[in-house]
Every structure is written in structure tokens, then in C-alpha cells.
Amino acid sequence: MEQLADGGIRVEALAGEYQAQAERWAVRLGLPLQDDSAAFAVQVGEAGLQIQQLGPQAPGPVRVDFVEGAAAHRRVFGGGSGQMIAKAVGIAQGVRPHVLDATAGLGKDAFVLAGLGCQMQLIERQPLVAALLEDGLARAAGDAEVGPIVARMQLLPGNSIERMRDWQGEPPQVIYLDPMFPHRDKSALVKKEMRVFRPLVGDDLDAPALLEAALALASHRVVVKRPRKAPIIDGPKPSHSLEGKSSRYDIYPKKALKP
């Protein structure tokens, strides 16, 4: 795995009983268990897997939790199929498309769509973020309420562009993209996840190639989430957009979704 310009990444157990798990993750991710110069730590503990930025001003750890916290609140109070993301991917009466989220991140949007009944496939190309997502899905699988939702979420390994270009089997009806946008604005980094992830993940400078691969594969439509004022991705123009307070969904239709 790539090392960061301002320090590396180490894996550590938060208690002795998690040492064996930490060692397995270190091998899988190709990261050391000891590194005093590390800027980040992948930590294994009672709450599962998390990434902690190290240093005096660092925000708290980032982990995936589909059972409690923000994901649970949105599942109960988020607005159901009236949400803009639901309209963007084409959810309607009798229509629950098969969706590929090719930039899955921490799985938040995919979890919303799975909660509304969509069969989801997820690709996250950054290995650390994919590890958090894998761990969060595994922990949620045993929950009585959330287990049936995450059962509709299949995490696929690898690079999104390569996976889409070499797709095997029936193509997804809808492909959802939320590429990391190059923010110049410091205020855009206040979210804890963004402060932690931007040094790890960087910006998706190959967004045009992502869009091109998605348009070639999706059977019915491609949906791109963007900051509200961001330019469209270079390439074909979307047919229309749905705009919210801070973000918008650019929609590239190919074929009508029918019940």
C-alpha cells in the first residue's frame, strides 16, 4: 500500500485480546505493526476496525457503523423513498433497481438504498476504506433489524474502473458515482471523515474515466453525486439534475426503469 508523504500507517490492537486480529489485518493490508513515525493507525478493538489520525489536533476515529449513530437515525427518520437519492436512482412504486455503487466509501448512500429495497453491489478501491466497510458489514450482519438490509449489500474487491470494464454477468441497472471532488475550500474539510480520508484517498482525478466506464456498463442509468456548485464531470452532459442544499445528482439515462 502507498505510504503517505507526511508519515506512514500502522496497525495496532487496542487491547491484548485483539492482537491476533491486528496481526491478520497488518498482513492483509501490507502494513507494519510498529511505526513510530506513522501519521495514521488502523486500530482493532471492541468496536471493530477504525482509522485514527495520530497527533495532538487529530479528530476522533472513523469507523463504519450501520447499527447505531447517523446511519440508524437516517434509516428511521431519513424520509424513505421521498429522499432525493431515491428519486435520482429511479426508485418508484414497484421499481427497486439493482444498483452498483462504484465509489462506495463508508457505504452510507448504499445503506440508504439497500434500506429502501435495492440490491446493492459496492466497490471501494482504497484498501483501508474497503477494510472499514467490510468490517462494518460483518458486524451489522448479526443485528436483527439491520442484518436483512446489509444482506442486500455485496462488497466487491478491486478497482472500480477495471471492474466495470471487465464486468462478468448481468450488468447493474443503475451505477451510482460519488467521486471525491478536489476541494480548495478549507471549510469543506470540517467533516471528520473528510479530514481523515483526504490524505489517505486523495481526489478522484480519474472521474471522467469512471463516468465513461459506468455509461458503458449500466443498462438503465448512471447517477453522479456532486457538490451543488461543482462543474459536471468532463464527458457527455447529463440529461437533468436534482439539486439539494449542498449537493446535486446529475442523471444520465439510457433506458426507462419499469416495474
Pick out the residues of the known binding site for S-adenosyl-L-methionine. Answer: 124-125, 178
φ, ψ dihedrals at 41, nearest 5°: -125, 130
**What's the rounded Cα separation, in Å, for the pair 244 and 208?**
23
Element (H, E) at 88: helix 84-89
67: helix, coil or strand? coil
**What's the rounded Cα separation, in Å, for the pair 161 and 146?**
30
Name, in order, each residue with C-beta under 8 angstroms of 212's C-beta and a sequence gap of 6 or more. 235
Element (H, E) at 205: none
**What's the rounded Cα separation, in Å, for the pair 221 and 129?**
26
Name, in order, each residue with C-beta under 8 angstroms of 159's C-beta and a sequence gap of 6 or more. 123, 125
**What's the rounded Cα separation, in Å, for the pair 114 and 215?**
22
Which residue ranges make up the annotated binding site? 124-125, 178
**How many C-alpha atoms does 202 have within 13 Å on its Cβ side?**
10
**What's the rounded Cα separation, in Å, for the pair 195 and 210?**
24
